[in-house]
Amino acid sequence: MTRSAMGRIWCGAALIVLVMVLAACSEPLVEPRAPRTPTAVIDRYNAIVATAEAGEDLLARARAYYDRGNIWFDQQNYTEAIADYDRALALDPSMSRAFHNRGLAHAMLKEYDAALRDYALAIHLDPDYRRAYENRVRLLEELTARTPDETLLQQLADDYGNLARLIPAAEAPYRYRQGLILARLGDRTAAREAFDAAIRARPQHVDALYERALLHYADGDLNAALADLDTALRLSPRAANAYYVRGLIHRAQGDTRGAIADFGQALILQPAYPEALIARAATYAEQGNITAARADLQRLDDLQLDPPLQQAREALRLRIGGSG
């Protein structure tokens, strides 16, 4: 091997190493999230608190406690943070932000009742305190997902309403969420008003249109339900569940052909759609088309169903026959 060849090999190897080093260096130097305050910072705030405690200005002292509480909070020392917020609030009970931050600290410690109490006080002091609403909504969503307490759900719906009022740019999504919670509470009139507001704020809000259609359907106003679903399907022609629900409404109106067409479209878009299969089979059976009904039943047998759908399938099987 000649020297020049050896040199080329060395150059190639060096180039590869260089590329690897460069690749390693291309990682971000700064993490996307804000870093925590350095522990040493607390010394500075201790000094500020000491100075404030030496002075006569109680509000300045409260402010110093509050600021140090924020640092403790940032360092995830929630117990110390709560202690400082307590001191601040004892001196100045009008500090809505101290109530809010203490609520947040309680929430981090999973002391949910205390958290909700503090959020309520913060909002009482500042009814337009957006951040308090947002954090309370986050907590209420978590709590109601575990236990659907009606009082908490009502609070959640009210908070979404307040957020929609406070943030006009986000009115549609907040009103939509408010509508969902109200529907969950069974207050269909209020839920419909919330969806109305969401659709007014954003006419192409297909989720609100769909949910409002469900409310109309539950109330027996089938034409209004169909109108909403037609609009939603014009905007979202690939939404299988909207076709399925429209099929159910057509069926309830006695339009079995329209129902079967909609169930069929839902099944084209989502072939393993058990609800649409059950509904179509039941409609076929009512038409007397037992062969088609049994074919859908056979497709259902290949799907994993939850208990209510299993019951629906067995009820269907009893109606149209077929092995089980």
Interaction residues for other proteins, span 197-216 (CB under 8 A):
204, 206-207, 209-211, 214
Is 29 an interacting residue with respect to other proteins (CB under 8 A)? yes
- Least Å distance, CB 32 to other proteins, is 6
Is 47 an interacting residue with respect to other proteins (CB under 8 A)? no
The interface mask with other proteins, positions 97-136, x = CB under 8 A, is x---x--x-------------------------xx--x--
Residue 70 backbone phi and psi in degrees, to 5 = -65, -40
How far is residue 194 CA from its own chain's centroid?
17
Is 226 an interacting residue with respect to other proteins (CB under 8 A)? no
Out of 61, 62, 73, 156, which residue is the one contacting other proteins (CB under 8 A)?
73
Is 196 an interacting residue with respect to other proteins (CB under 8 A)? no
Out of 1, 2, 5, 22, which residue is the one contacting other proteins (CB under 8 A)?
22
Distance CA 231, CA 225 (A): 10
Distance CA 290, CA 236 (A): 33
Q: Which stretch binds other proteins (CB under 8 A): 30-38, 106-114, 116-124, 138-146?
A: 30-38
Is 14 an interacting residue with respect to other proteins (CB under 8 A)? yes
Out of 60, 120, 261, 269, which residue is the one contacting other proteins (CB under 8 A)?
269
Our CB check for other proteins shows the closer of 56 and 217 to be 217
Is 32 an interacting residue with respect to other proteins (CB under 8 A)? yes
Residue 92 is encoded by which pair of tokens?
């100045």
- Reported as type and span, the H/E element at residue 282 is helix 274-287
- Map the footprint of other proteins across residues 302-321, applying CB under 8 A: 308-309, 311-316, 318-319
- Map the footprint of other proteins across residues 165-194, applying CB under 8 A: 167, 169-170, 173, 180, 184, 186
Q: Are 75 and 36 in contact (CB under 8 A)?
A: yes
Q: 261: Cβ–Cβ under 8 A, 6 or more apart, which residues?
A: 247
Is 291 an interacting residue with respect to other proteins (CB under 8 A)? no
- Reported as type and span, the H/E element at residue 220 is none
Is 288 an interacting residue with respect to other proteins (CB under 8 A)? no
Is 299 an interacting residue with respect to other proteins (CB under 8 A)? no
How many residues bind other proteins (CB under 8 A)? The answer is 78
Q: Are 229 and 241 in contact (CB under 8 A)?
A: no
Q: Give Dmax (Cα) for the chain.
A: 91
Q: Are 73 and 81 in contact (CB under 8 A)?
A: yes
Our CB check for other proteins shows the closer of 54 and 153 to be 153
Distance CA 317, CA 184 (A): 32
CA distances from 175 to 137, 153, 178, 264 (A): 13, 14, 5, 33
- Least Å distance, CB 178 to other proteins, is 12
**Burial letters 51-81, b for 16+ CB under 10 A, else e:** ebeeeeeeeebbbbbbbbbbbbbebebbebb
